[in-house]
Amino acid sequence: MRGNLYPVVIAIIIGIFVISSGCTDRPVEKVPVKVVAAGSLLVPLADAEARYEALHPEIDIQVEGHGSIQAIRQVTEINRPFDVVAVADESLIPDLMYCPVQNGEGNYTDWYTTFARNEMVIAYTANSRYHDEITRDNWYHVLSRPDVRVGFSNPMLDAAGYRALLVTMLAGEEYQDWTIFSRVIGDYFDPPLVVENEDDIQTVRLPQVLKPLGNKIAVRDGSVFLMSLLEAGGIDYAFEYRSVAEAQGVPYIILPDTINLGTDQFNQEYHRARVILGFPRFSVIGSERTGMPILYAATIPSTAVRVEEAREFLEFFLSEVQKGGRGWPEPLDTPHEFPWNINTMAAGG
């Protein structure tokens, strides 16, 4: 009897071992790939994340949004281990990341690739005052009316904010009306924002605390609040990125290329306007913001934990950007170059 039971006991134990060990159907732990990005990239990144994770169920793309400077600072100053950095101003990567890693080796990065462009527009709704008469030729007349409320992001916090000021300054040259800035924005702050013109460069210096006078102007921390205020009727018009207006599904006025910061062709013209911020919010970067085309750029920091996975996701994301989508910045025509695909390190796109 005992001899007959012995193989049965062993078989039962082996069976329990195999079933309970879970080795036959081992659950897959997802590999996190951490992405830090500008707020205006959150819509396309959310779309790309869903598609990529459907193709690669073993990967967990984790996206965190900030203003572009703050996004880079997460890596360079707060020492967080992000695998991909994507920002709305290509100049920030060489300015802030081509520098030695704290307590490490090499620079935070030595390359980046540009992948999309954007432009400033005037967003509005069907409830905006005078929406049925505003055009790309008269927008500054409409916005300067005392009963029209205008909004833009805080220039201290959001590139779209100082870009709103740059566009309005450039409009003076475009329409040969040097009162546009003061009538639309400048006169409605305490103290007033005044444009100085020296050596053919227009400059506005912001006070430390930007205080709107009355209800004509609304300044909010970021696009999400500005668009919410627009849709609630708290403002009639908002200076915004075209992709943000499209993502929100609101109509917008397209501005002339000479002032919309949207094309390389007018780089020199854009350079003729600049904003000097009220204080250096971040010690790593100065307070001067000069007009230039809005170009998106991405890199993989040398401090990335998941380098291979980050490369694969970045290549996928940029290929998705090429296809485009609602609320996505416009893709560039130039092919992407990655240092792992070419023999020399690329400085720029």
Partner 1 sequence: MIRTIQTGLILLMLFIVGAGCINPAPVSSSPAVTVPVEDYRSWTLTVNGTARQVYSLAELRALPATTGHGFAVSTVGIKYGPYICRGVLLTDLLERAGGISQGDQVWISAPDGYLWVFDYDQVQGNGFITFNESLKEIPPPPLRILLAYEFDGSPLTYNDGAPLRVAIISDEKNVVTEGSAWVKWVDSIEVHRKTQ
- Residues within the interface to partner 1 (CB under 8 A): 6, 9-10, 13-14, 16-17, 20-23, 26-27, 29-32, 39, 42, 65-67, 70, 73, 77-81, 154, 156-158, 208-209, 211, 220-222, 224-225, 228-229, 232, 234, 278-284, 305-306
Closest of 228, 230, 241 to residue 44, by C-alpha: 241
Distance CA 89, CA 272 (A): 18
HSE value, Cβ hemisphere, 13 Å, CA-based, for 266: 19
Nearer to partner 1, 38 or 165 (CB): 38
Q: Which of 116, 79, 75 is nearest to 96 (CA)?
A: 75
Q: Which is nearer to partner 1, 157 or 171 (CB)?
A: 157
Nearer to partner 1, 79 or 179 (CB): 79
Q: At what angle are helices 307-323 and 42-55 packed, to 10 degrees?
A: 120
Residue (30 or 56) nearer to partner 1, CB: 30
Partners of residue 204 on adjacent β-strands: 195, 275
CA–CA distance, 266 with 120 (Å, rounded to integer): 14
Q: For residue 69, what are its two tokens?
A: 């400077």
- Give the Cβ contact number of residue 103 at 10 Å: 6
Shortest reach from residue 200's CB to partner 1, in Å: 31
Cα distance between residue 210 and residue 248, in whole Å: 27
Report the residue number, 23 or 200, with the smaller CB distance to partner 1.
23
279: exposed, middle or buried (Cβ count in 10 Å: 0-12, 13-18, 19+): exposed
Q: How far is the CB of 100 from partner 1 (least distance, A)?
A: 16
- Shortest Å, Cβ 10 to partner 1: 7
Residue 48 C-beta: closest distance to partner 1, Å? 17
Residue closer to partner 1 by CB (options 234, 251) is: 234
Q: How far apart are CB 13 and partner 1 at their closest, in Å?
A: 5
CB of 201 to partner 1, least distance (A): 26
Least separation, in Å, of the C-beta of 164 and partner 1?
A: 15
Contact (Cβ atoms closer than 8 angstroms) between residue 133 and residue 139: no
Q: Which is nearer to partner 1, 280 or 324 (CB)?
A: 280
Residue with tokens 């409830």, as numbered in its chain: 127
